Amino acid sequence: MSPTAVTADHNPLRDVRDKRLPNIAGPCALVLFGVTGDLSRKKVMPAIYDLANRGLLPPGFSLVGFARRDWADQDFGQIVHDAVKEHARTPFRESTWKALAEGIRFVPGTFDDEEAFDLLAETVQQLERDRGTGGNTAFYLSIPPGFFGQVCQQLERSGLAEAEPGQWRRVVIEKPFGHDLESARELNDIVEGVFAPDSVFRIDHYLGKETVQNLLALRFANELFEPVWNSHHIDHVQITMAEDIGVAGRASYYDGIGAARDVIQNHLLQLLALTAMEEPTAFTAQHLRAEKEKVLASVRLPDDLGASTARGQYAEGWQGSEKVVGFLDEEGMKPGSTTETYAAMKVEVDTRRWAGVPFYLRTGKRLGKRVTEIAVVFKRAPHLPFNDTETEELGQNAIVIRVQPDEGITLRFGSKVPGAQMEVRDVTMDFTYGNSFTEKSPEAYERLILDVLLGAPSMFPRNEEVELSWGILDPVEEYWAANGRPEPYPSGTWGPASADEMMARDGREWRMP
Ligand SMILES: NC(=O)C1=CN([C@@H]2O[C@H](COP(=O)(O)OP(=O)(O)OC[C@H]3O[C@@H](n4cnc5c(N)ncnc54)[C@H](OP(=O)(O)O)[C@@H]3O)[C@@H](O)[C@H]2O)C=CC1
Ligand SMILES: O=C1O[C@H](COP(=O)(O)O)[C@@H](O)[C@H](O)[C@H]1O
């Protein structure tokens, strides 16, 4: 498809939300926990710089780092500087850096150190006086999930969670939120016991991706797709999140969590919800979340979890020309770990729109390549006025939303092969962001952090969504825990044979992205 260039200089969906909101954050500070971690260095600190570089942070914006290091402000400043130089999307500008660096502060401490949190409280008050942050403060918990509760309790004890009249305090919680439904409920009791529900921002960075937000535009801004977006026309949906990387450097986090808790419980079920949901009455947080919740509440697992799920663990193999070690040989891995690095499952959505349409979800590390996509695969035409040989190369029509890395949308349909004879073959029409827009997509974290500072919660799942998602996953995890080890698959391939067998039982096969 070569759509003519759409030249809005902003995302229309964002516009809808932002009509009532300024695009530039008001006076505030952001306190970042876990500043030495992978996510902070690669995503959060660079995103803050990019926001500053685009002029979206207020004058006096301040960034406070908290870590168990004996650092002064300038040492932390150097860490931010290095992370920005290496990972920021926008060019390095001395003037932006200087303005940002003036507001950088550091507080040393561990999460069980009350004095450190008291010092943090003093630092936040000092920033209000010195830099005019207004006392408005966001706390970003980029830390191991086991500490989310403890840090919230420390914020409460030290008075940091409590806003003075006219101020706000917000908390950003990374994922996974809990380990299962029960622990998610316990965690939520703590978090929402400290912060009001609308001050809790549970971050799922997939919702900040341009292509994921575009799914809403595709479905609800067009007339073309919605009439066929149902079980009358759709055969099945495949949602794939494949990564070529392993867990090197993150073994301690990943072991015991595994692929399903790491990304199916959140990213993939959110993608499913956006694909399957009804049109929200308005693009407000309340309406969007309500529609997603209805879908998640309607998801049903098949009775036979052995036949409708698959899990694997990567063994040594080849990633391109590089020989890579298996999961069990990654540094810091527990010997004999049964954690899965590949997970696939079939679910149904029990609604009139989706009755009988299976949704297949799969994710894995050390797969053939990095790709995330949603493939909506259509039924075959009920009648073909051609003979079999004329259509032997005709597959099923499909709309593929390419979330990453080659962002765009592909439409696959049959077309006549040029020539005297009638022969129909699959062809594709492609929309790619690069060809259609001059505007560059912001990094997901950039958009989501700005939304936190603006107080715009649409793109953050609320607790009900988190709990419904655990309710879907828990029976699968229990089944796996009681049924042996994950099946090994060589790195660089497309996962264990049992995942292909799961599809074959339904007369289908996974797409080769
Ligand atoms: N990395 C990623 O790609 C993604 C990560 N996430 C989520 O982000 C969060 C952070 O992940 P990631 O950055 O990978 O994790 P890391 O293990 O790389 O970083 C954890 C951070 O927490 C700090 N920390 C741990 N324990 C303590 C403690 N007792 N007191 C003070 N500081 C402590 C560490 O400090 P120290 O250096 O002292 O150990 C480090 O800064 C997790 O919830 C993860 O699920 C979400 C999406 C993607
Ligand atoms: O949340 C997570 O996502 C990353 C992949 O993110 P992407 O934006 O590069 O697709 C994944 O590597 C990590 O294990 C998981 O925690």
CA atoms within 13 A on the CB side of 74: 0
Please check if 243 is assigned to a binding site: yes
DSSP 214-263: HHHHHHHS-SSSGGG-STTTEEEEEEEEE-S---TT-HHHHTTTHHIIII
Q: Write down the pLDDT at residue 252.
A: 87
Ligand showing the shortest atom-to-Cα distance for residue 44? 1
Q: Write down the pLDDT at residue 438.
A: 87
Burial tier of 2 (Cβ tally within 10 Å: 0-12, 13-18, 19+):
exposed
For each successive 10 residues of the chain (513 residues), what is the average pLDDT?
Answer: 34 39 83 96 97 94 97 98 97 96 98 98 98 97 96 98 96 96 98 97 97 96 97 98 93 93 98 98 94 98 98 96 95 94 98 98 98 98 91 95 95 96 96 90 94 96 97 98 96 98 98 88
Cβ–Cβ < 8 Å for 143, 102: no
Measured distance CA(411)–CA(484) in Å, rounded: 40
Q: Write down the pLDDT at residue 14.
A: 41
Instruction: Determine whether the shortest distance from the Cβ of 473 to ligand 2 is under 6 A.
Output: no
Tokens 């499952």 correspond to 345
Q: Write down the pLDDT at residue 511.
A: 95
Domain boundaries, the chain: 12-203, 207-505
DSSP 130-168: HH--TT-EEEEE-S-GGGHHHHHHHHHHTTTTPPPTT--
Burial tier of 444 (Cβ tally within 10 Å: 0-12, 13-18, 19+):
buried
Instruction: Determine whether the shortest distance from the Cβ of 146 to ligand 1 is under 6 A.
Output: no
Ligand showing the shortest atom-to-Cα distance for residue 67? 1
Q: Which of 368, 369, 339 is nearest to 251 (CA)?
A: 339
Please state the ipTM of this predicted complex: 0.98
Q: How many C-beta atoms lie closer than 10 Å to residue 331's C-beta?
A: 10
How many angstroms does the Cα of residue 26 sit away from the middle of ligand 2? 30
Task: Specify the residue with its C-alpha closest to ligand 1, atom 45.
Answer: 175
For residue 267, indicate whether it is catalytic. yes
Please check if 262 is assigned to a binding site: yes
Instruction: Determine whether the shortest distance from the Cβ of 477 to ligand 2 is under 6 A.
Output: no
Measured distance CA(282)–CA(415) in Å, rounded: 38
Please check if 175 is assigned to a binding site: yes
Instruction: Determine whether the shortest distance from the Cβ of 263 to ligand 2 is under 6 A.
Output: yes
Query: What is the pTM for the complete model shown?
Result: 0.94
In this chain, the answer to whether the domains covering 12-203 and 207-505 adopt an identical fold is no
DSSP 72-131: -HHHHHHHHHHHHHHH-SSPP-HHHHHHHHHTEEEEE--TT-HHHHHHHHHHHHHHHHHH
Instruction: Determine whether the shortest distance from the Cβ of 243 to ligand 2 is under 6 A.
Output: yes
DSSP 4-47: PPP--SS-HHHHHHHTTS-SS--S-EEEEE-TTSHHIIIIIHHH
Instruction: Determine whether the shortest distance from the Cβ of 174 to ligand 2 is under 6 A.
Output: no
Encode 149-164: b = buried (16+ Cβ within 10 Å), e = exposed: bebbbbbbebebbebe
DSSP assigned state of 352: T
Q: What number does the ligand 2 atom closest to the CA of 243 have? A: 12
How many angstroms does the Cα of residue 34 sit away from the middle of ligand 1? 5
The catalytic residue among 179, 236, 267, 287 is: 267
Q: Write down the pLDDT at residue 223.
A: 97
Q: What is the CATH topology of the domain spanning 207-505?
A: Dihydrodipicolinate Reductase; domain 2 (3.30.360)
Cβ–Cβ < 8 Å for 316, 491: yes
Q: What is the CATH topology of the domain spanning 12-203?
A: Rossmann fold (3.40.50)
Q: What number does the ligand 1 atom closest to the CA of 252 have? A: 17
